[in-house]
Amino acid sequence: MPDRFVCDTSIILNGQILTLIEDGELGEKPEIFISNIVVAEVEYRTNVHKEIGFFGLRVLKELRTLHDKGEIILHIVGKRPSREEIKMAPGGELDALIREYAKENNAILITADRIQGDVGEFEGLEVLFAWEKKSKEELLPISLKILEYFDEETMSVHLKQNIPPYAKKGSPGSWRLQKISDAPISNKLIEDIAMEIAEVTREDQHSFIEIEKEGAVVAQMREFRIVITRPPFSKDVEITAVRPLVSLQLSDYSIDSRLQKRLHKAEGILVSGPPGAGKSTFSAALANYYLKQEKVVKTLESVRDLQVEPEITQYTKLEGNLENSADILLLVRPDFTIFDEVRTTKDFQIYSDFRLSGVGMVGVVHSSSAIDAVQRFIGRIELGMLPSIIDTIIFIEGGDISTVFVLKMTVKVPYGFRDKDLARPVVEVRNFKNDRLEFEIYNFGNDVVVNPIKEKYTSRERGIPSSRMKKDKRIDLDIDVKKQKIILRANPEYASQNIEIYANNQQIFTGSLSRNSDISLSLSNKEGKKIFKELNNGKEIYAKIK
């Protein structure tokens, strides 16, 4: 094999040229020809703040270093193209010039571009393809710099130029921001970390670049979601790396048999909650649950970071547009689609279109309360269609299920109205645990009203003896700990009651007993941890009517 090689842009941008030299596949002291076309393309991408440009520039600098050390002979050949010619590069004219340089110098063309290589072979060139990716074990060493900032309880790492590194530690709903080191992150260190991430992400078959724009790149490196920003988008270079700390099953949540049955038949689910509450973790558990129920499950994500089983295909924006993705996804005919996350008006329309097409949907929505998740649909769809699109709302708080609402349409006189002639279609929002009416949604003139129901439930209406309504009535609890859960059981007569939980005389939290007169808490959330701690300290756990 001749020891003269011409590199095209692709082999520089993926860094494989350095691997070939290091592995000795190009022979001893090979002659490497880099055209000014390649230099100009790399420089252009760097100037528009594309992370791939910074990586390619680093590869070019390393080639110069190898030349200075006498390990290769580096030649820079050809004329520099104009900016307009670079923008027209997809037409193939610049690739054709690179092939000409290979012919002129009697050199082998090295490329990672299948079309470039195939055309080169047609033109009679000897072509070395270098597009194969190595296995993940080789490409993600333990010494990767970004991983050094993580420990067992780290949820995310936040690195910023000239600022000490910080990390979020704990669990969803119960975390703290902690300084990792007092030493500020130097400019060189943060650039080295960014380049290393870019290199591993591009070479590892289990990692990919999700979004790349001027001044920002979003990469999925295995289970890590990494965002790199730089000027002009951000004032300084910043790296945020997030990883899912836990992977849970549906049985790890506070779900009784009634709710599980509901999830099995529900087809328009919204998983809502504040940022960091654990919405995506729950949605992934729900996706895996549906898969085990022999359902065809897909995901639709702007950033594909849900931790789901390999059988579940994760889709993202097709040609930069979720509407294009939705068109393809409908042809796949999934039983359930996990939409993470529903945010823009277009997203809400896509969610609605899927539901009306008969596809089961689980939408992830940021909201501060369960009813806020519904309000984000109001004004975007007709009110009468709301229960057909959304039938169940699950509010996640502190890593566990806090509230479950169900929606249904009826015709009635809205609560608080006296005139029977004012009857109209009303969307009822009921608490799933006790079937209590929490909100009514209806049209009033040109407005849509979301009316909280303040109705007082008397003991007679509930069929509960008045003696049970006393707040100072002590309720003894049976407590079981199993499968990472702690279950508090009261006498059946207290079913569906709101109660306060005490350890000795100190109130721990308030909650609602299920129809089975129990409360199931995950040991991963703060209430479950607190109960477990007080039990181990020998304290007496009991309840009172709220």
Domains 4-132 and 250-455 share a fold: yes
Report the percentage of the chain scoring pLDDT > 90.
24
pLDDT digits (tens, 9 = 90+) for 49-61: 777 788 888 899 9
Residue 143, pLDDT score: 55
Report the percentage of the chain scoring pLDDT > 70.
91
Residue 160, pLDDT score: 93
Q: Under CATH, what is the fold of the domain 137-242?
A: Beta-Lactamase (3.30.450)
Residue 392, pLDDT score: 93
Residue 301, pLDDT score: 83
What is the mean predicted confidence (pLDDT) over 513-520?
83
- Residue 139, pLDDT > 50, answer no
Whose structure tokens read 């002639």?
A: 421
DSSP output for 211-224: EEETTEEEEEETTE
Mean pLDDT of the chain: 84
pLDDT grade for 87, boundaries at 50, 70 and 90: low
Coil vs helix vs strand at 520:
strand
401 or 212, higher pLDDT = 401
- Residue 34, pLDDT > 90, answer yes
Superfamily of structural domain 4-132: 5'-nuclease (3.40.50.1010)
92 or 489, higher pLDDT = 489
- Residue 255, pLDDT > 50, answer yes
Token digits of residue 122: 């047609």
Alpha carbon distance 283, 338 (integer Å): 7
Residue 422, pLDDT score: 83
Cα four-point dihedral sign 424, 384, 258, 375: negative
Residue 136, pLDDT score: 41
Token digits of residue 469: 């309504």
What is the mean predicted confidence (pLDDT) over 92-101?
86
pLDDT grade for 468, boundaries at 50, 70 and 90: very low
Domain ranges of the chain: 4-132, 137-242, 250-455, 463-545
Cα four-point dihedral sign 96, 101, 103, 106: negative
110 and 8 Cβ atoms separated by less than 8 Å: yes
pLDDT-wise least confident of 202-211, 350-359, 419-428, 476-485: 202-211
pLDDT-wise least confident of 34-43, 225-234, 241-250, 324-333: 241-250
Residue from 250, 251, 294, 252 nearest 269 by CA: 250
CB atoms inside a 10 Å sphere around CB 489 = 18
Residue from 127, 128, 146 nearest 16 by CA: 128
Residue 63, pLDDT score: 93
Residue from 188, 226, 197, 223 nearest 210 by CA: 226
The answer to whether domain 250-455 has CATH 3.40.50.300 is: yes
Q: Order of strands, edge to edge, in the sheet holding 216-221?
A: 174-179, 163-171, 154-160, 238-242, 224-229, 216-221, 207-213
Residue 86, pLDDT score: 66
pLDDT digits (tens, 9 = 90+) for 280-321: 889 999 999 999 988 999 998 877 778 888 889 888 888 777
Q: What is the dihedral of CA 362, 368, 370, 373, to 10 degrees?
A: -50
Residue 246, pLDDT score: 67
pLDDT-wise least confident of 273-282, 467-476, 491-500, 512-521: 467-476
pLDDT-wise least confident of 133-147, 224-238, 398-412, 484-498: 133-147
What is the mean predicted confidence (pLDDT) over 5-21?
88
pLDDT grade for 241, boundaries at 50, 70 and 90: very high
Largest CA distance in the chain: 99
Alpha carbon distance 409, 425 (integer Å): 7
Residue from 469, 459, 533 nearest 503 by CA: 533
Coil vs helix vs strand at 130:
coil
pLDDT-wise least confident of 27-31, 236-240, 274-278: 274-278
Alpha carbon distance 201, 199 (integer Å): 6
pLDDT grade for 131, boundaries at 50, 70 and 90: low
Residue 133, pLDDT score: 47
Neighbour-count burial for 318-349, b at 16+ CB within 10 Å, e otherwise:
eeeebeebbeebeeeebbbbbbbbbeeeebbb
